[in-house]
Amino acid sequence: MSGNQVGPHVKSVRAYFDGSHSEDLLTLVAMAATSSTWERFEARWAEVLQKHGVSAAHMRQHREPSFVEDLERVLRDFGDQQDAFCSSSSVILPSHKAVSQRTATIEVGGANRKFPEASELCAYDCLNYLCWHYDIEQFALVFDRNEPFFAKLHNTWNVRKGRTVDHPHLARVGHMDQGSSECHPPLQAADFFAWHVNRFWTKRDQPNSWKLGSIVSASSTLWDEDALASLLRVKGVLTSRSPYQM
């Protein structure tokens, strides 16, 4: 599951976040691009929906092979655009429970805080990858409604908006909101990727297209017990420090 390590200089980027939750794994995927690429994506995505007579694509409901193949073609085209980028982060929940019970608090920035929840790790992890990839001042973030990831970023961002934000990457967020997959086709695409990433880690299912899997592999993190027990790595996510600096 490859992607670019260093992204282009662009004026503005909109990123969509959606998650997938199985019994033992929580996954979040972020898909980002400029407005022109999103316009191209949405037009092609709408053509597929119209062709198959559905109003929205949800992996838990729509898995007909021909429909999935048509969606994959649109996503491969998205991945070919120079300004497009995907990131994903997954946490093994039993491992998180074991580590958080052993390590109830963690020191970050000179102060003790509660060990981050799985959804918080995923949210900051995906945000960090976006900020390392794009050389821009601000992002607009859209989360699928009723996802736990949104609150983990929004509460801190909203309280500190207009003031210094402890997390440097959070300070680069100019807009953050919730949407719905019915109204935002990119959230349907993020759901598509999140479902497949979750299935890859839990069942070793592979996407039909190698290229489709390659879009998110280089920026895909799996938090197993060893990774979670590395407090230096956890602190890095909470402070925006690149894993390449560890």
H/E segment holding residue 108 = strand 105-108
Nearest to 153 by CA among 169, 164, 131, 135: 169
Q: Is residue 7 part of a domain?
A: no
- Of the two residues 64 and 139, the one the predictor is more confident about is 139
In a domain, 39, yes or no: yes
Q: What is the pLDDT of residues 127-162, one digit of tens each?
A: 999 999 998 878 999 999 888 899 999 988 886 554
Under DSSP, the state recorded for 61 is T
* Residue 28 · residue 88 · CB < 8 Å: yes
Q: Using CA atoms, how far apart are residues 33 and 134, in angstroms rounded to an integer?
A: 10
Domain-embedded: residue 173: yes
If you compute the radius of gyration of the chain from its CA atoms, what whole number of angstroms results?
Answer: 17
The answer as to whether 2 is a domain residue is: no
Determine how many CB atoms are found less than 10 A away from the CB of residue 197: 28
Residues of the chain above pLDDT 90, percent? 59
Q: Are strands 139-144 and 173-179 parallel, antiparallel or unpaired?
A: parallel
| CATH code (residue 184) | 3.30.420.10
For residue 229, the model assigns a pLDDT of 97
Q: What pLDDT, in 10s, does the model give residues 206-230? A: 766 656 777 776 688 999 999 999 9
The structural domain count of the chain equals: 1
> With left for phi above 0 and alpha for psi between -120 and 50, is residue 20 left, alpha or beta?
beta
77 is a domain residue: yes
Range of weakest confidence among 40-54, 66-80, 200-214: 200-214
Burial of 233 (0-12, 13-18, 19+ CB in 10 A): middle
Domain assignment present for 128: yes
Residue 163 has pLDDT above 50, yes or no: no
Count of beta carbons in the 10 Å neighbourhood of residue 171:
18
Whether residue 1 is contained in a domain is answered as: no
β 25-33/220-223 pair status: unpaired
pTM for this entry? 0.88
Domain that holds residue 98: 13-245
Distance CA 176, CA 217 (A): 26
Residue 163 lies in a domain: yes
Residues 6 or more apart from 134 whose CB is under 8 A from it? 7, 8, 10, 13, 32, 85
